[in-house]
Amino acid sequence: MSEYKLPRGIVISGTGLWTPPESISNEELVDAYNTYATQYNLKHAQQIEDGELQAKPQSSAEFIEKASGIKSRYVVTREGILDPERMRPFIPERNDDDLCVQAEMGVNAAKLALEKAGKKASDVDMVIVGASYMQRAYPAIAIEIQGALGIDGFAFDMEVACSSATFSLQRAVDAISSGAARTVLVINAELASPQVDFTDRDSHFIFGDVAVASVIERRETCSVDSAWEILGTKAKTVYSNNIRSNFGYAARAADVDPFGPGKLFRQNGRKVFKEVCPMAAAHIEAHLQETDTNPQSVSRYWLHQANINMNNLIAKKLMGDEASIERAPVVLDRYANTASAGSVIAFNLHSDDLQLGDRGIICSFGAGYSIGSLVVEKIAV
C-alpha cells in the first residue's frame, strides 16, 4: 500500500475528453456476433457433436445490458468489427514518421485539456501516458505526443491495467511535490478495441476506445478561476490471475500464436465481482478517512466504469440509502468499459456543476488487482 501526505496546493486545472466519431450499439454488435456464432457452429458441427469443441452460444442486447449496463461503445473504426468473416477492427499500419493512432488520440485529448486549463505546451515539462495497452513497446507513446505538441521536458508510458489513469495522476502529483516538474500533462489514451476478442460472447461487448487528458500543476501557477485541489492519493495492488491479457512479444519464442486462445483479454467475472467490490469500497473508505472526509459528505464519486452492478454495489456500501446516479455518475452505458479512462471521463463530464468547497473522489480498479484514488476539493484560484 502507498499512502501520501501531500503538501497543499497541487491541483487538477483542466481535463479534456476526446471521443471517437464512430460508435457501435449492442444490437449491431450482437447481430454480427450471432451471425459469426451460427457460421462457426455449422462449420464445426461434427467436432461439436464429438465433444472436441464447444458450440458458440447466442447473445442478445438485453443480456449485455443486464450483465454490464453497457448500451453502446465508441471505437476508432467500425470497419471489420461487424464483419462475421473478420471480427476485429481494421486499423492499417502507418509509416514510422506518421503519428500513430494512440498518439493521435492522446494529442486530441491533450489539446482540449490544455485549453481548459489555460495552458500552452510551453508551460508543460512532463508528460505521462497511462493506459491498459500500448500500441508498441518503444519509442514511448508519451514521447511521441511530447514531440507532436512541442513540449520541452521528459515523458514516459506506464501500464497498470484499468488503474493506469489514477496511478499516472499520482505519479504526476509526486513529481510536482518533489520539484521534478512544474506542470504535468497526464494522458490516458485507451485504444482497447484491437485487444477485444469479438468472437467471445462473454467479453466481446466490454470495451470501447477513448482518450482523456488532465493538467496537474501548483495552485500558484493556475490561470483559471477554479480548480480541483488534490487532498490525497492512495494506491494498492494485490496479485490476482482473474483478469489477464497474455498478448506479448515472448509468444514468438514459445512458438505459439500471439493472438491465440487465452492471449487477448479474459476474466473470471464472478470472482472479480466478489473480490474487487469489497476491496474498492474498503479502499475508498480508508482514503476518505485519511483525508478527514466523511463518506456521506462527498458530493461526487467518480468511480471506475467497468460494470454497472459493481458500481451500484460499491455506491450502496459507501452512501447507503443516499446512493444515486447524481452522486456516482455513470458513463459506461454509452462509452462502455474504457479501461483506465472511465473514472476520468466521469470526472470530466460531471464536475463543473459542483460548488466551491465540494469534495469528490476519483477511483479506478482493475487487473492486478490494482486500486488507485485521488480525493479532491473544488477551490477558487
Catalytic residues: 162
Are 33 and 63 in contact by the 8 Å Cβ rule? The answer is no
Strand partners, 377: 229, 359
Q: How many helices (H) and strands (E) does the chain have?
A: 11, 14
DSSP-derived 3-state class of residue 178 = helix
Judged by phi (left if over 0) then psi (alpha if -120 to 50, else beta), residue 229 lies in beta
By C-alpha distance, which of 329, 335, 333 is closest to 361?
A: 329
Rounded CA-CA distance 308/314 in Å is 10
Residue 54: HSE in the Cβ half-sphere, 13 Å Cα cutoff: 6
Buried b (16+ CB within 10 A) or exposed e, 8-20: ebbbbbbbbbbbb
Alpha helices in the chain (DSSP H): 26-43, 45-49, 61-68, 101-117, 141-149, 164-178, 251-254, 269-290, 308-319, 332-335, 342-349
Rounded CA-CA distance 126/172 in Å is 8
The DSSP 8-state label assigned to residue 100 in this structure reads: P
| Residue 83: all three cell numbers together | 464483419
The DSSP 8-state label assigned to residue 132 in this structure reads: S
Q: For 361, phi and psi rounded to 5 degrees?
A: -135, 130
Rounded CA-CA distance 327/271 in Å is 27
Amino acid at 258: P
Buried b (16+ CB within 10 A) or exposed e, 208-232: bbbbbbbbbbeeeebeeebbbbbbb
Cβ count near 177 (within 10 Å): 18
